[in-house]
């Protein structure tokens, strides 16, 4: 038995199991993960000390934001 045959067999089995999962559960799991991440972000922001921010941190954030904005505009032109 080849490796490709084994992977194909497992892939078919996983697909059959995925089809059995109800639609509401498929939507609820990513939503729950997103809510947990947002909650962690809010907690981190509430515990944040503004005095710990340095000038280099601000510059790095601005550079990162500029890259994100540039890449989104670049992808939209395609």
Higher-pLDDT residue of 74 and 33 is 33
Instruction: Say yes or no to pLDDT of 40 above 70.
Output: yes
Instruction: Say yes or no to pLDDT of 7 above 60.
Output: yes
pTM of the model: 0.40
**54-66 mean pLDDT:** 80
Please state, in angstroms and as integers, the Cα–Cα distance from residue 59 to each residue in 7, 19, 28, 66, 74, following that order.
47, 47, 38, 11, 22
**How much is the pLDDT for 26?**
78
Q: What band does 61 get if pLDDT is binned at 50, 70 and 90?
A: confident
Radius of gyration of the chain (CA): 22
């Amino acid at each position: 038995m080849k490796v490709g045959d084994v992977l194909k067999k497992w892939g078919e089995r996983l697909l059959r199991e995925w089809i059995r999962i109800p639609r509401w559960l498929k939507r609820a799991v990513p939503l729950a993960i997103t809510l947990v991440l947002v909650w962690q972000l809010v907690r981190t922001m509430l515990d944040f000390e503004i005095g710990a921010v340095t000038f280099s941190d601000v510059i790095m954030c601005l550079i990162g934001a500029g890259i994100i904005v540039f890449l989104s505009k670049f992808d939209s032109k395609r």
